[in-house]
């Protein structure tokens, strides 16, 4: 087992950004929605793109893009020691999130201040992964020769760790999670 420092769903430059400091510690992996491209102010798009570029240069393939980076599907997973690290949106609802990943960056006042607030309040509910997600996650892990699948995306209040179809599926909460895998 190795320990990992996993950062997930910080949504930097967004209306509900976390303030976690991203350190390049040993075994640090960024698993998506680190930077908020979807709901940032339109005037902040250059800053968002600069932040994504800097983090990509610093962490390379260990910076996995989520649906809110709006960077398409490049850098959508990283494999190490039989562990499939990803954001989790593509296994959640592939068609919906594929479309979302390719939309332009930036949002207007209503989306940032009203719609994002509603979504953020929904995220405060403790959601469990649905069976179709567990099936897709276990299948993608197995297809890539992995026995463990690690994601963010769902914003759970606490770590979710289940075994489904012979694959350990771990969903981390927002912020930094230090974990042995």
Residue listed under structure tokens 């962490």 = 59
Q: How far is CA 146 from CA 36, 91, 113, 140, 151, in A?
A: 29, 15, 40, 8, 14
Higher pLDDT, 69 or 109: 69
Instruction: Please write the tens of the pLDDT for every residue from 139-165.
Output: 999 999 999 999 999 999 899 999 999
**What is the reported pLDDT for 122?**
67
Distance of CA 36 to the CA centre of its chain: 11
Residue listed under structure tokens 């494999």 = 79
Instruction: Please write the tens of the pLDDT for every residue from 85-138.
Output: 999 999 998 998 899 999 999 988 877 777 777 766 666 555 678 999 999 999
Q: What is the mean pLDDT of residues 38-62?
A: 96
Question: Is the predicted pLDDT of residue 68 greater than 80, yes or no?
Answer: yes
């Amino acid at each position: 087992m190795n320990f990992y420092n996993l950062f997930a769903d910080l949504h930097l430059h967004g209306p509900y950004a976390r303030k976690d400091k991203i350190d390049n510690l040993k075994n640090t992996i960024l698993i998506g929605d680190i930077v908020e491209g979807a709901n940032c102010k339109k005037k902040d798009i250059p800053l968002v793109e600069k932040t994504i570029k800097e983090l990509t240069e610093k962490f390379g393939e260990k910076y996995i893009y989520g649906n809110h980076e709006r960077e398409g599907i490049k850098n959508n997973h990283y494999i190490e020691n039989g562990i499939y690290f990803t954001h989790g949106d593509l296994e959640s609802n592939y068609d919906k999130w594929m479309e979302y990943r390719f939309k332009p960056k930036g949002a207007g006042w209503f989306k940032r201040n009203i719609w994002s607030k509603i979504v953020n309040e929904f995220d405060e509910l403790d959601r469990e992964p649905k069976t179709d997600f567990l099936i897709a996650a276990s299948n993608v892990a197995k297809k890539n020769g992995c026995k463990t699948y690690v994601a963010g995306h769902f914003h759970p209040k606490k770590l979710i760790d289940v075994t489904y179809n012979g694959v350990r599926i771990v969903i981390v909460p927002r912020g930094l999670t230090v974990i042995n895998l």
